[in-house]
Amino acid sequence: MSANADFDLFRINEDHEVLREAVRAVAEDKIAPYAAAVDEEARYPQEAHDALVASDFFAPHVPEEYDGVGADALATCIVIEEVARVCASSSLIPAVNKLGSLPVVLAGSDELKAKYLPPLAHGETTFSYGLSEREAGSDTASMRCRATRDGDDWVLNGQKSWITNAGVSEYYTVLAVTDPEGKRGSNVTAFVVEKSDAGFTFGEKERKLGIKGSPTRELHFDHVRIPGDRVVGEVGEGLKLALKTLDHTRVTIGAQAVGIAQGALDHAVAYVKERRQFGRAVADFQGVQFMLADMAMELEAARQMVYVAAAKSERGDADLTFFGAAAKCYASDVAMKVTTDAVQLLGGAGYTRDFPLERMMRDAKITQIYEGTNQVQRIVMARQLLA
């Protein structure tokens, strides 16, 4: 992590502001009206899916040469943030599309990119990511999923847990051990698995606290034959690729957290200006004003951290590992605090499903857990500082 005098870490340009307005309009018109029902029914947000495809916000990170819009990292974060402002489940569509396909973007062959990126850009499928296992969560190097070479092919056996949009996606980047006797961390390889591959099945949907509209399921591999040309990057380099991918995509989870927090703050401000107690608006009380000030201050600090990390992601800066972890960690902690305080500001109303605050509070919690718990983020940051 460097401390140089370059203060132009990122810049919100006119295109970014136009993009924000466009995404916000789509989110408020096409996504927000269904957010409560998506949560209540724990169903995939198809309305959001369709709206994101129609507006080119579905997988904005896909490069132009593969029929995408080629949005930079900051623009992609703005898309995710604005969707999360009204529906966290829906914001996982562009976020996980980036997570699942980024290994292909970073290390895939030209043939892999040409095969898998255009359908994603066209909105024909989502793209999921298979890294975690039941016994290998934060300790990714201890994964048990195996891929055994058979001629030019590989045969995949094992399972993956907590996979976002599993069952919806046609494509999955899956990490598996390809050399059980090899050096830990240098014996894992990444593959693209297709939903139609024989022997590839899904577990039941997890029953979750939040983001209920985004299906989370296990992936099961029973002698799944993967052609050799579906290896992503080099054999044995999969874990390094996975961690490099997370350096970039943790920033998008920070953006999701910022969006959830912003939505909660917006609702809280509107409520306390209208709600009256003791003959005056609740917003007139200094205790409430101090809460709002702290919420807004911490939220804006989180936003700036995410945007700086996004700029570093775009440039591929050497200190991205620190800033990606810091942005994700801080923004998600802020999202949890802001949504909890927003529920408090609405009092009993905040605790009911008549208002979206309790949903936002439940949704915020996962941002502290997935793509590396915040305890792991602090380990990542400390290692960077001590290196």
Q: pLDDT (tens digit, 9 = 90+) per residue, 224-272?
A: 999 999 999 999 999 999 999 999 999 999 999 999 999 999 999 999 9
pLDDT at residue 3, rounded to an integer: 45
Are residues 153 and 192 part of one domain? Answer: yes
**CA distance to 189, 229, 248, per residue, from 235 (Å):** 5, 11, 22
Are residues 245 and 233 part of one domain? Answer: no
Looking up residue 97, the CATH number of its domain turns out to be 1.10.540.10
**Calpha distance 382→377 (Å, rounded):** 9
Are residues 291 and 230 part of one domain? Answer: no
pLDDT at residue 9, rounded to an integer: 56
Task: Let me know if residue 220 belongs to a domain.
Answer: yes
Residue 2 pLDDT exceeds 80: no
Are residues 184 and 150 part of one domain? Answer: yes
Domains identified in the chain, total number: 3
Indicate the pTM of the whole model.
0.96
Select which of 133, 298, 358, 371 is catalytic.
371
Task: Let me know if residue 1 belongs to a domain.
Answer: no
- Domain extent, residue 149, equals 128-237
Contact 189, 176 (CB under 8 A): yes
300 is catalytic: no
Rg (CA), the chain: 21
pLDDT at residue 105, rounded to an integer: 98
Residue 81 pLDDT exceeds 90: yes
Q: Identify the bridge partners of residue 175 per DSSP, sorted by sequence position.
A: 190
Are residues 78 and 18 part of one domain? Answer: yes
Q: pLDDT (tens digit, 9 = 90+) per residue, 118-147?
A: 999 999 999 999 999 998 888 888 999 999
